[in-house]
Amino acid sequence: MEKYIVKNEDEGIRIDSYLAKENESLSRVAIQRLIKEEKILVNNKKTKSSYKVSENDIITLEEEQPEEVEIKAQDIPIDILYEDDDIIVINKPKGMVVHPGNRKSRWNFSK
């Protein structure tokens, strides 16, 4: 659990902006989500993203544990235009996901 004590010079700043400044690994959107999930408390009480911090507020942030994600390769037929020892040119269909992300692909290539 992380703990922050608000200093006088930070008084009046929205809590999401304050925490984004204090913890560069979290975006304001992530902070707002954590506030909704009640994983961020001010003086041991739940809060809102619009809350303006006061001097000596004690803000606690429950650390999220990274989720284990298993990435499975798929056998997808692709159109190879050119290939040699150093380079490959592929005609990738529009919308095909090439890097794993949070969103699900519109395409379902599994058989």
> CB under 8 Å to 70, separation ≥6 — which residues?
none
Task: Please give the Cα distance from 83 to 37 (Å, whole number).
Answer: 49
Domains of the chain, start order: 2-61 (3.10.290.10)
Task: Please give the Cα distance from 13 to 86 (Å, whole number).
Answer: 53
Residue 61, amino acid: L
Q: Percentage of the chain with pLDDT > 70?
A: 89
- Residue 80 tokens read as 């190879």
pTM of the model: 0.60
- Res. 55: pLDDT tops 80: yes
Residues 14-53 have pLDDT tens digits of 999 999 999 988 899 999 999 999 999 999 999 999 999 9
